[in-house]
Structure 1
């Protein structure tokens, strides 16, 4: 069913054209528009419907990634922003997440088809993080010689939470870890208890806030 409207903002012509070429062949996408700069998108894009997902390269001419997120959400507050970048700088990752990005994909770690799948996931209400990026979030929960984490999760609990952060369903997590879906539910309850939350939305919100606090304290 054609129900996803996507905008690609990427200054590298070859990457932008490859992604657009893949998107327009997928029947789940009803409109695909692309721009080389954030300014072109904000000031020239007058087409409807409004984008459900914006795939954003954060290293654009003139405008930093976190500033671009502000500009997009000011104009399209309900748009899902998916960062597509080669950079793993912790401070930039944190800024993007705290500003409202719902996903962060590393160019070096994913194929064009992976990006297409990530777009579908964030459109459906999930989130998508490259494993390396997700690990940076989960590192908060590892005790270190410098400072013990206030929240200690087991390895299996971390694996389950990694799945939740990446937008996986309980069944997908169960399949990935070769455990039953009831066991996944048990781990989720334990995670919620340790994190002092009652829902996945609260969990992701708390992870985001802890991620920000940790970077501020230079613990990465």
Structure 2
């Protein structure tokens, strides 16, 4: 028997889900409350449910805050968020806090039942829209952030000229500055990058270290 609890402040939704689940073979839903605080009080006194269905926006403590406390004191309880929120911030905050599943409130009663059974078997039920966001998050291309450089924009121009294979004179012509000015920039670049040659500057640039 899978024992389920509900934390939902909408009485109509709470009662509907509780009645439906309690009618299903292999599932019992003996507790349905409207706040995390009430559920915590229940858990101190009664037999713990195996799974909690929990909303995020609740009176008092939020569902996300509640996950952390419940998982800390009762790590054996699995939690499925059942909420209207589908923004990435709340999804990942819930999962990081310890939620094992995430369903949107338009999920049908039979699908909620399937999610409970799936979680009891070791699954991680999610509404398709939520699963897609999770997949998109992990499929993001990893972009290496260039390290911060102390080079000025003009010094960076000079480095780009060196990488392009330009001589000091050609760099001076490209940026309409004197060769002496180019040399002064080069000396500053060497000092800032802790190098002693043009080849080292080019190598650092090609490795993405500038």
For the superposition of Structure 1 and Structure 2, which TM-score range results when normalised by the shorter chain?
0.5 to 0.7
**What residue number does 1:123 align with?**
120
CA distance in 2, matches of 1:98, 1:74: 13
2:9 pairs with 1:8? no
**What residue number does 2:132 align with?**
135
**What residue number does 1:33 align with?**
31
Give me the TM-score of the superposition, normalised by structure 2. Answer: 0.63
CA RMSD of aligned residues (A): 1.6
1:1-220 alignment runs, 5 A limit: 3-45=1-43, 46-48=45-47, 50-108=48-106, 110-140=107-137, 142=139, 148-149=141-142
CA distance in 1, matches of 2:137, 2:71: 28
CA distance in 2, matches of 1:54, 1:30: 12
- Structure 1 residue 56: deviation in Å? 0.4
Return 64-73 or 97-106, whichever deviates more.
Answer: 64-73
Unaligned runs of 5+ in 2: 144-210
Distance 1:125 1:142, change over 3 A: closer
Distance 1:124 1:149, change over 3 A: same
Maintained 8 Å contact 2:4/2:31:
yes
Distance 1:47 1:92, change over 3 A: same
* Superposed CA offset, 1:1-22 (max 9, x none): xx21111110000000000110
- Structure 1 residue 142: deviation in Å? 4.8
Where 2:23 maps in the other structure, the secondary structure is coil
CA distance in 2, matches of 1:98, 1:70: 9
Maintained 8 Å contact 1:56/1:82:
yes
- Structure 1 residue 66: deviation in Å? 1.7
Give me the TM-score of the superposition, normalised by structure 1. Answer: 0.61
Q: Which has the larger radius of gyration?
A: 2
Maintained 8 Å contact 2:4/2:27:
yes
